[in-house]
Amino acid sequence: MERHLIDLRSDTVTQPTEGMRRAMAAAEVGDDVYGEDPTVKRLEETAAQLLGKEAGLLVSSGTMGNLVALLAHTRPGDEVILDANAHIYFYEAGGLARIAGLIPRLIETADGCITPEQLDQAVRPWDIHFPPASLFCLENTHNRAGGVVLPQEAVDAVVSRAKELGLKAHLDGARLMNAAVYQGLPPARLAQPFDSVMLCLSKGLAAPVGSVLVGSREFIDRARRARKLLGGGMRQAGVLAAAGLIALTEMPARLKEDHARARRLGEGLKSIPGLQVVGEVQTNIVILEVRASQWDSARLVKAWRDEGILANAVSPRRIRLVTHYQISDAHVEAVIDATGRIMGQGF
Whichever domain contains 301, its CATH number is 3.90.1150.10
The average pLDDT across 114-125 equals 96
All residues at 6 or more sequence positions from 267 whose CB lies less than 8 Å from its CB, including other chains:
none
Residue 107's CATH number: 3.40.640.10
pLDDT-derived band at 344 (thresholds 50, 70, 90) equals confident
Do 280 and 135 lie in one domain? The reply is: no
96 lies in a domain?
yes
- Residue 121 in any domain: the answer is yes
Bridge partner list, 83: 107
| Residue 162 and residue 292 in one domain | no
- Residue 108 counted as domain residue: yes
Total number of domains in the chain: 2
Could you tell me if residue 300 is inside a domain? yes
Question: Does residue 346 have a pLDDT over 80?
Answer: no
Q: For residues 120 and 239, state if they share a domain.
A: yes
**CA-to-CA distance for 145 and 140, rounded, in angstroms?**
10
The whole-number average pLDDT for the span 245-253 is 97
In terms of Cα–Cα distance, which of 295, 234, 249 is closest to 32?
Answer: 234
Contacts of 15 (CB under 8 A, 6+ apart): 1, 206, 208, 326
Question: Residue 305 falls within a domain, yes or no?
Answer: yes
Q: CA-to-CA distance for 344 and 347, rounded, in angstroms?
A: 8
Q: What is the pLDDT of residue 266?
A: 98
Task: Identify whether 35 is part of a domain.
Answer: yes
Strand partners, 58: 212
**Length of the chain counted residue by residue:** 347
Same-domain status, 85 and 211: yes
Same domain, 28 and 59: yes
- Is 170 found in the same domain as 35? yes
**What pLDDT score was predicted for residue 283?**
98
pLDDT band at 3 (very low <50, low <70, confident <90, very high): very low
Instruction: Let me know: does 173 contact 148? Beta carbons within 8 Å.
Output: no
Beta-bridge mates of residue 214 = 56, 197
* pLDDT score of 4: 67
- Give the side-chain half-sphere CA count within 13 A for 162: 25
Instruction: Please determine, for residue 347, whether its predicted confidence score (pLDDT) is greater than 50.
Output: no
Backbone torsions φ then ψ of 206, nearest 5 degrees: 75, 5
Same domain, 90 and 173: yes
Q: Is the dihedral of CA 91, 97, 102, 108 positive or negative?
A: positive
- Same-domain status, 176 and 324: no
Q: What is the pLDDT of residues 267-312, one digit of tens each?
A: 999 999 999 999 999 999 999 999 999 999 999 999 999 999 999 9
Q: Is the dihedral of CA 142, 145, 150, 156 positive or negative?
A: negative
Q: Within this chain, do residues 45 and 64 fall inside the same structural domain, yes or no?
A: yes
User: Does residue 1 sit within a domain?
Assistant: no
Distance CA 338, CA 63 (A): 35
Helical spans, DSSP H, in 165-284: 176-183, 187-191, 217-229, 238-249, 255-270
Q: Are 57 and 83 in contact (CB under 8 A)?
A: no
| Final residue of a structural domain among 231, 250, 269 | 250
Residues 178 and 56 in one domain: yes
Q: Which structural domain range is residue 195 located in?
A: 18-250
Is 236 in the same domain as 277? Answer: no
Closest-CA residue to 138 (of 211, 194, 96, 72): 194
Domain match, 141 and 207 both:
yes
- Percent above pLDDT 90 for the chain: 97
